Amino acid sequence: RNKCLVSDSANLVFIDRPNIVITKDTVLCVDKPTLQLTTNTPGGIWSVQGVNPTTGLVTIANAKIGENVFTYTHSPNTTCEQRLSVKITIKDPGSTIVLGGDIAICDTGLSTYQLIGFSPSNGMWSGPNITASGLINVSLLKRDTAYNYTYKIFDVQASDCSASKSIAFRVNSLP
């Protein structure tokens, strides 16, 4: 009496988790506008500030200087969910340059003038009558004329990554 029989069937299909590969850890310069993160298994979601979650396009200006960790999640909220992370380090060599202010000296007969107080020390100076280490041949400069000197540094960890800042230098004639 009141025996009820209910039956149903289902097919279970077991799928292999894909072997996901994403962009390798990278160091790049802040002057690059974008970086495309890649994966061999589209359809997942990229996360962290500065990245388009669907396309993986990183806008460098929206990321932070230094180390950024971007995570790719494939098949989120399922038993097949996989998360992989990539470290992108953004370098800004210009943030470390310290030069001080413009310089004006009186013509006292000096033949050279050494620029000092700049950092980091691994940069190179350029401009009229100056050595890479910042020694100006004052005897070759016109008096009462401003000259621009540029200090340039390179970040060897990021390809084509450099920055520069300039100062003005002037030799004033004696009154």
pLDDT at position 1 is 60
pLDDT at position 52 is 94
Q: Which one-letter DSSP state was computed for residue 62?
A: G
pLDDT tens for residues 76-109?
999 889 999 999 999 999 999 999 999 999 999 9
What is the number of helices (H) and of strands (E) in the chain?
A: 0, 12
Residues whose CB falls within 8 Å of the CB of residue 2, separated by 6 or more in sequence, listed in order: none
pLDDT tens for residues 15-52?
888 999 999 999 999 999 999 999 999 999 999 878 99
Contact 100, 118 (CB under 8 A): yes
| pTM, to two decimals | 0.76
Separation between Cα atoms, residue 47 and residue 69, nearest integer Å: 9
pLDDT at position 23 is 96
Q: Which is nearest to 164 in space by CA: 156, 175, 172, 154?
A: 154
Place of tokens 């009141």: 2
pLDDT tens for residues 135-166?
999 999 999 999 999 999 999 899 889 999 99
62 φ, ψ (degrees, to nearest 5): -95, -10
State the average pLDDT over residues 110-120: 95
Q: Which is nearest to 41 in space by CA: 72, 10, 70, 16?
A: 72
Residue 28, token pair as written in the block: 């790049």
The amino acid that residue 103 corresponds to is I
Least confident of 1-5, 70-74, 107-111, 113-117: 1-5
Least confident of 62-66, 126-130, 131-135, 141-145: 62-66
pLDDT at position 5 is 82
